[in-house]
Chains A and B, each alone.
Chain A
Amino acid sequence: MTNRNGTFGDVMVVGGGMSGIQAALDLASSGYKVYLVEKDPTIGGKMAQLDKTFPTNDCSMCIESPKFIECDRHPNIEIMTYTEVDSVEGEAGDFDVTLIKKPRYVDEDICTGCTTCVEYCPIKIPDPFNQNLSDNKATHIYFSQAVPLVPYIDEECIKLKDGKCTICEGVCKNKAIDFSQKAEKQVVKVGAIVLSPGYGAFDPGRRGDYGYGTIPNVVTSLDFERLLCATGPHEGEILRPSDHKHPHKIAWIHCVGSRQILEGGHSYCSSVCCSYVQKQVILSKDHDADTEAWVFHNDIRSFGKDFERFYKRAENLPGVKFVRSYVEIGREIPETNNVTIRYSTNGEGVKEEEFDLVVLGIGLAPPANVERISAQFGIELNEHGFCKTNSVNPIETTRPGVFVSGAFQGPMDIPESVMSASGANALAGALLKARRGKLDTERIYPEERDVTEEEVKIGVFTCHCGANIGRVVNIPEVTEYAGGLENVAHAEEGLFICSTDAAEQIATTIREKGLNRVVVAACTPRTHEPLFRDTLREGGINQYFFDMANIREHCSWVHSKQKEEATAKAKDIIRMSVARSIGLEPLQEFELPVNKAALVVGGGVAGMNAALGLANQGFEVHLVEKQEVLGGMARRIQTTLEGLDAHAYVEDLIRQVYQHQLIRVYHSATITDASGYVGSFVTAVESEGRTTEIKHGATILATGAEEHRPTEYLYGEDERVLTQLELEERLARDDGTIAAARRLVMIQCVGCREEGRDYCARVCCSQAIKNALKLKALKPEMDIYVLYRDMRTYGFKEDKYFEAAENGVRFVRWEPERTNGRPTVEPGTDEEGKPILQVSVFDHVLGQQLVLDADLLALSAAVVPSPGNPEIARLFKVPVNPDGFFQEAHVKLRPVDFAADGVFMCGANHYPKHLSEAVSQAYGAAGRAVTLLSHDTVTASGSVCEVNEAACIACGACIDACTYDAIQWKGKGVNKKAAVNPALCKGDGLCCSNCPTDAIILRHFTNEEVYNQIDAALSESWSSTREEAGA
């Protein structure tokens, strides 16, 4: 094997956006050598350009960039940027990939990222990272957190153009500039390929949509992301292009390039725009509370988890208006460069409104040069130019051994991209299971320095976070202040302390200056603590000698208008952190053994696929199903909207599960007890009269969901009223009721998007359309009306909405907000005197009450969480959200993980989803579980509780307080003491605050450490700095 020379690996991930990064990390953590190939000069993709992410408004770069560094530091990942694939030969298990590394004219190995060349470069070019809204130099680093953090030289460089300028060569001390670089070919052998090329943004300039390209104050949503962002062209000030003034009245136009059969547009729905527009509205209001925001749309598609609440949140902000109309630009007003928009109303004609800025909600397109991708990789494309995928498992392409993750499958949001990336790990893992671990490289850290005898030497690193902190807090002043604090041996500021070079710099400084404590004054430990702890290990000191002073969330973001006071507060926060760090102790993390078996709870489509995903990679699986048979909800589904025979699929899946040697199925099973911790779970399962104690290292919950039983619209009172699932069953059974029916009405959103169940059940619009199409195929003359609020046929499903309309299905919108806006149903008779159901609904276009005769009424009833969820949640100590679905660890980047280590979820218990989405998430859960199961041990935190037995009075207060069952009794009589199982302890400290004798302490948060911090807060300098600042 020739892995040393870097041409032999296990998997190549093509595309370094969020999906590719996740795929690379999961594969690498599962014991595979990964090549991560990216065409741009850095990894990061589109997510790096976003300001915040919906529906949590997390800072996009802040949650993504730690992953860059994780990739960079992972011994099993080789990142190849500015590199394109030339050709792919061979077959699954044995591919030869020819790569072309484009010349960046900077030697990556020599360059230190000092940016002197950037400073001296005389040529300005529009900055692609900032959507060309600002300039950068012809030689520049793509963005501050880029990995690798090395400049590249753009083709606009005058040296490259006519050989004239050599300034950069002259100023580079390391002689890293190399204009002799040529494109280099390299062949890499891998066993599998994961394609994650992402998406292209629809370019409204090509058709001149809405004046884009000619009217300066019409920008795209991606442009607007950059305008919002602190690292954007105006450091986070929203300034409009024409005059760099603050726009106070902003319009958003939906579906730009999407949902249209017009030349140059896309017929599908881009799935993400509705929510990102709401995000931009909320953020604009955050920037300036007086902003007036108008959103022009035709259906708001808030179909994802927590999207509906997010929509309501945006809609309920003062000065925000959602207007249902596609629009046209009226004109640009020459004097002000304001733009008018013409929109339609029902009954009041067309109105025109003037705006300071117009933002185009541009859709998602296939990646650029997609035809080339298709030819190179030998994969087929679908009719929209996205990757053609297996109709059941969207991670599979048409070529074995080539998998696809992320938005190249079709429009999707970040969590779905991440799920599919983890899923690609499971599929590639099954293909390459024999090779797992063969090329695995251990990370080597320098030996840890014993600092016990040293005097305390603290290094403080203060971060500008671009303009996020630096624009509010006077960082130079704060840094100088920090340098003067007792025990501080070094204080230094940086633009982004989290960037690769800055982190390396910390490690170097630790070594060179002999630092033994490090304080980083920047953002939140939630996202960045692991990165800096790792940096301390690189620097050769114990990672627990680190403390983070949050001067962003706790300071600059909340005091953005009070700069002086914020600066004073930042000093306080740092002083406290420094004081705390003095008392920090070195702690050792410990290794827990990992049982290689997994438990999957739930034998529906998600559970069975998760089980197969694991078993096919060689892991033993215990599959527990509460029913007598496998299949779950999918048993009630006949076909999918896309036409897949769901019955045949489920039967085949069940057969595969039963035939698999590594899967053991427990039917009619109840879980009676669950204990243990990551790597070593023990679960008691009662099945068919026997109780089995299952030992397993990982747990996947796939407990599914149910169809809501409506209480309205005569359901349960009149047999002609059915749910969609019942209609589907009726269609399959063919009992004559369908044949006899001439007129059928469907009502959407029954039992959801309302008080008490304030979420969209995601699948019902497609379900209604599926049934309507089936009915129309059966009986073309049947009159079918769908009464809807917003048709939410996202993604390619929009084509089916079109098809239903084409087949004569009529869609009438209703609004619950309107007085008597809800449809009503009552028994009646038709013209011929036949008994019918009379459905009445107000029609907005007609301005009249539409009365429809129906022989059958189908209710699109909500999908509700399984009633067993609370019990499962209790047993496995995992949280549910307010709607009763399981709550993932991180909405965006850990969509199948629970916060509890070793427990994962997939399928409809996470949120309602379609069959193929459940499959994708199931493989995602399997992929994540394998990152754990493929190791013999797992590392547990050193920050756990400990009992001082001498002080323990055995009162049990700590045992009552602990929600993780991490504390047990040990000994008897006078020797009876509380004892902590460190593997279970999550370090939340609840026990400590309940202990009457301070006998139980939390390492890393000892009383001494916390008191130091508090004392520092109340120290004299506190009041004096406050006075100086004039508070």
Chain B
Amino acid sequence: MTSVEMVTPLAEIVDEINDAGGDAFKYCFQCGKCDVVCPWNRVRPFSIRKIVWQAALGLPEIELDEIWRCTTCGMCPAACPRGVEQIEVGVAIRRIAAAYDVYPASVAGLSAAGSSLAGDGNPLNEKREDRTAWAKDLSIKQFTEGMEILFFVGCYYSYDPRLQKAAVATANILNKAGVDFGILGNQESCCGESIRKTGNEEVFKTLAKENIKAFIDNGVKRVLVASPHCYHTFKNEYSEFMVNFEVVHISQFLQELIEHGRLELSAEFKKKVTFHDPCYLGRHNGIYDQPRDVLKRLEGLELLEMPDTREKSLCCGGGGGRIWAETPKEERFSDLRVAQAVQVGADVLATSCPYCISNFEESALSLEGENKLEIKDITEVLFEALSGNGGAE
């Protein structure tokens, strides 16, 4: 008989995980459904069930890569028959690991992101004062009390050259619709959603407080966000600080503008487009129809659906802090997703999340010839159409 390792449950670790908000592990009856729906198991074996069960017994392996894999995509909690909050359990374990400052090599980037966030309010090691660089050619106002809406741009849209284009597109559409909006400029800090998922509660709290202070100081009542991650944390997590302001995602806002007749969409976009539901827009917040409704307004646009769509949308791999982790090429969910888009015959893979766009852009690089695929934010699709560039190439 091969020797089997002996372990004894550790009650104090169980308590620690409980205190860190992971007590829902107790519901697990080990049916394996979470592993079955987990996108990791399409690229390599990974057992979230095991992580949950280790938590239940106080035996988490905090030094291993495994605890950092979960992208918090929300597939398993949605499918779990027992209501195990796998994300919370995973984050609770990460909190313990973060407290010990143990990060395996693959997630060394988390540490860097954390420092950058603590120092400059963004995870990209960029300077705070450069946060408005994307808007230098546009006439965008600083938000002041009484304006209709605050456009909370977000870190990736502000700094990442690829995503800055989407921010520009958004601003242009808002202007076209005559929306009275402003931005916070350098007062905007990262929303903190992703760093929180890495167990760094401290940095999250600092960032949240900074943003809340900025909102209050500037008299913000309604916030427009482009990133589903900002949306999620503002809507569902900032309430922990007992503040209350209205959050609206760009896909919702666009639909609102169209419905109220403020945005004329008699433009055409003669391409086959498939929409990818970002985890934090769809599964976490139930927004599925609005982005599709907006796209369908465009004349000539053929909307296609990929195999894993809506509630079962395939994660891009960027959530839960994974956007800062090293993922080997063969383990990237975004490669599978891009292949799905190609398979259904799409010209454009549209979405509405900065992480998704970053990951898809990288995965799409290896596509050639007929399989070429454009990755676009829905605002880019719209703006292209509105600018009269929506004809087929």
Residues of A within 8 A of B (CB): 255, 259-262, 265, 298, 324-328, 331, 342-345, 348-350, 783, 791, 801-802, 805-806, 808, 810-811, 813, 819-820, 840, 842-853
Contacts and interface: CB of A to CB of B under 8 A. Distances in A.
Contacts of B4: 842, 847-849
Nearest to A851: B8
B56 A783 contact: no
Given A298-B29, A846-B59, A850-B7, A261 B81 contact: yes
A808 B81 CA distance: 17
Interface stretch (B31-39, B190-198, B204-212, B256-264): B31-39
Contact of B5 (A342, A808, A848, A853): A848
A791 B83 contact: no
Contact of B307 (A331, A345, A806, A843): A331
25 contacts: A298-B31, A325-B33, A327-B36, A328-B36, A342-B36, A343-B36, A344-B35, A344-B41, A348-B45, A349-B45, A350-B41, A783-B11, A802-B82, A805-B27, A810-B26, A810-B57, A842-B4, A844-B30, A846-B50, A846-B53, A847-B4, A848-B7, A849-B5, A850-B6, A852-B9
A892 B30 CA distance: 34
Contacts of A261: 81-83
Closest 7 CB pairs of A and B: A349-B45, A344-B32, A260-B81, A350-B41, A344-B35, A326-B33, A298-B31
Contact of A262 (B5, B37, B81): B81
A324 B79 contact: no
Contacts of A343: 32, 36
B22 to A, nearest CB: 13
B46 interface: yes
Contacts of B242: none
A263 B132 CA distance: 44
A819 B3 CA distance: 12
Given A846-B50, A846-B59, A851 B7 contact: yes
B76 to A, nearest CB: 11
Contacts of B83: 261
Contacts of B6: 840, 848-851
B95 interface: no
A326 B36 contact: yes
Most buried by B among A344, A348, A813: A344
A260 B81 CA distance: 4
A344 B59 contact: no
Contacts of B33: 325-328, 344
Contacts of B45: 348-350
Given A342-B36, A343-B32, A349-B46, A328 B57 contact: no
Given A298-B29, A808-B26, A849-B4, A326 B81 contact: yes
Nearest to B4: A849
Nearest to B81: A260
Contacts of B144: none
A717 B68 CA distance: 48
Contacts of B59: 846
A324 B80 CA distance: 16
A783 B12 CA distance: 12
SS of B interface (majority): loop
Contacts of A783: 9, 11
Given A298-B32, A328-B36, A350-B41, A845 B53 contact: yes
B170 interface: no
A328 B41 CA distance: 12
A349 B82 contact: no
B1 interface: yes
B49 interface: yes
A850 B38 contact: no
Chain B interface bracket (under 10, 10 to 19, 20 to 34, 35 or more): 35 or more
A390 B46 CA distance: 48
Contacts of A791: 29
B81 A265 contact: yes
Contacts of A840: 6
B32 A324 contact: yes
B8 A805 contact: no
Nearest to A810: B56
Most buried by A among B11, B50, B81: B81
B227 interface: no
B54 A846 contact: yes
B46 A344 contact: no
A802 B26 CA distance: 10
Most buried by B among A328, A810, A845: A845
Contacts, number: 113
Given A298-B30, A810-B57, A813-B30, 7 more contacts: A298-B29, A328-B33, A343-B32, A820-B1, A843-B53, A845-B49, A849-B6
A842 B5 CA distance: 10
B47 interface: yes
A840 B26 CA distance: 21
A435 B248 CA distance: 71
Interface in B205-230: none
B49 A350 contact: no
Contacts of A260: 81-82
Nearest to A323: B32
A838 to B, nearest CB: 9
Nearest to A781: B11
A326 B30 CA distance: 9
A326 B31 contact: yes
A590 to B, nearest CB: 60
A760 B142 CA distance: 73
Nearest to B46: A349
A355 to B, nearest CB: 15
A847 B76 CA distance: 22
B57 A259 contact: no
Given A850-B7, A851-B7, A325 B53 contact: no
B53 A350 contact: no
B107 to A, nearest CB: 21
Interface string B52-63: 011011010000
Contacts of A852: 8-9
B49 A805 contact: no
A791 B28 CA distance: 13
Nearest to A328: B36
A324 B36 CA distance: 12
Contacts of A808: 26
A70 B324 CA distance: 75
Interface string B1-25: 1001111110100000000000000
B318 to A, nearest CB: 21
A326 B32 contact: yes
A851 B5 CA distance: 10
Most buried by B among A259, A326, A840: A326
B337 to A, nearest CB: 15
Most buried by A among B1, B37, B46, B54: B37
Given A261-B83, A344-B36, A349 B31 contact: no
B29 A819 contact: no
Given A331-B307, A845-B53, A846-B59, A325 B29 contact: no
A191 B46 CA distance: 64
Contact of B8 (A255, A259, A326, A853): A853
Given A298-B29, A849-B6, A805 B35 contact: no
Nearest to A265: B81
Given A845-B49, A845-B50, A852-B8, A350 B35 contact: yes
B161 to A, nearest CB: 37
Contacts of A331: 307
Nearest to A791: B29
Contact of A350 (B1, B11, B36, B54): B36
A841 to B, nearest CB: 11
Given A260-B82, A848-B4, A805 B29 contact: yes
Contacts of B57: 810, 843, 846, 850
A430 B255 CA distance: 68
Contacts of B36: 325-328, 342-344, 350
A812 to B, nearest CB: 9
